[in-house]
Amino acid sequence: MSTVPDDLPEARPAALLRPAGRSRPARVLFDGPERVWEAYRDTLPRALAEAGVLATVSRDLSPEETDWIVYAPGGRITDFSPYRQARAVLSLWAGVELIVVNPTLTQPLARMVDPGLTQGMVEWVTGHVLRHHLGLDRHIRRTEPRWEPSPPPLATERPVTVLGLGELGLACALALTGLGFPVTGWARSPKDERRLARVFTGRDGLAPALTGAEIVVLLTPLTRLTENLMDAERLRLPRRGFVLLNPGRGALIDDAALLAALDEGQVGHATLDTFRQEPLPPDHPFWSHPRVTVTPHIAAETRPETAARAIAENIRRGQAGEPLLHLVDRRAGY
């Protein structure tokens, strides 16, 4: 069953973001788990001050007192409807699939775009692509003294496909292009992107984007259109023995289809950072499968220093009556 509903309320128009009066500080409600609050308790007020925003940040504001909500999953708010004065909800996470489906959310929603997050993802993707491209495991796991030279092909001979060409996907695709890989990208809307070998878009572009790939990287958001993107049929399209990297979201993959494709040899290796259920349950077959690498959702961390600056910049913009950055399209789901 789909976890991503079709019907969502329209967000309140961003036009309601009139300039705030200068008479009192903006009141920012921080709604997230305790450990996240610990990381932002000092950094966020500092970033706001550096951005020239007069503001107070607290975990304890009534709905009537709240001008802005800074949000991370696992906080206290489940019903956003009493926060009628809140000018926007600013997500500390780049992926917003957990909040975008909340039917009580009518405030504009902005997501996290943070240079630290992008850099982290580029490093994770590049590292794991190179691991498989160079066949590093063969050397690292050697148990006997065997001298068997089998040099890997050059990157130029290893086609890579990146699904999703947003903030993270495009940065990864360009980094891989810089290393020499012929990179094919796939996105929802047409792109004039000439730095990649090929770009396909829309539903019809998915099969040509996947066909012949030796490494596939999933970096689309989880929406009703991308859930189970890699199902049994799509897993058959890349080259036999291909490597699948999923730092996007667990539900982009049909788990049972992936396990079958691994057992049958169509997928040579899967390196997974995101899962339908996190933490990945101890008895999940991914843990013990010899050709699955599990990393515990660490591909890219939101870094408090840079993320707090991104949040502060959006509050500054809103307070000044300027359009917010990185607003989520509620209907598209990302």
Q: Which stretch binds ligand NDP (CB under 6 A): 141-149, 154-162, 213-221, 261-269?
A: 213-221
Out of 66, 184, 226, 319, point to the residue binding ligand NDP (CB under 6 A).
226
Is 297 marked active-site?
yes
Q: Which stretch binds ligand NDP (CB under 6 A): 7-15, 139-147, 247-255, 313-321?
A: 247-255
Out of 91, 273, 307, 314, point to the residue binding ligand NDP (CB under 6 A).
273
Q: Which stretch binds ligand NDP (CB under 6 A): 73-81, 132-140, 181-189, 316-324?
A: 181-189
| H-assigned helices in 59-201 | 97-100, 115-134, 136-140, 167-178
101/264 Cα distance (integer angstroms): 36
Interhelix angle 304-319/115-134, rounded to 10 degrees, is 140
Does residue 128 contact residue 271 with C-beta atoms inside 8 Å? yes
Does residue 134 contact residue 180 with C-beta atoms inside 8 Å? no
CA distances from 273 to 151, 164, 246, 294, 296 (A): 28, 16, 6, 6, 6
Smallest separation (angstroms) from ligand NDP to the CB of 32: 16
CA distances from 21 to 25, 62, 317, 319 (A): 9, 20, 13, 8
CA 60 remoteness from chain centre:
29
202/209 Cα distance (integer angstroms): 10
Out of 48, 55, 90, 94, point to the residue binding ligand NDP (CB under 6 A).
94
- Amino acid letter for position 126: T
Instruction: Using the Cα atoms of residue 140, residue 144, residue 147 and residue 152 in order, give the sign of their dihedral.
Output: negative
Smallest separation (angstroms) from ligand NDP to the CB of 203: 7
Considering the rule CB under 6 A, would residue 184 count as an interface residue with ligand NDP? no
Considering the rule CB under 6 A, would residue 132 count as an interface residue with ligand NDP? no
Considering the rule CB under 6 A, would residue 249 count as an interface residue with ligand NDP? yes
Smallest separation (angstroms) from ligand NDP to the CB of 150: 32
Q: Which stretch binds ligand NDP (CB under 6 A): 15-23, 33-41, 154-162, 182-190?
A: 182-190
Looking at 128, 249, 303, 317, which residue is catalytic?
Answer: 249
Which residues form the interface with ligand NDP (CB under 6 A)? 94-95, 117, 164-169, 186-189, 219-223, 225-226, 247-249, 273-274, 297, 299-300, 334
Tell me the catalytic residues: 249, 297
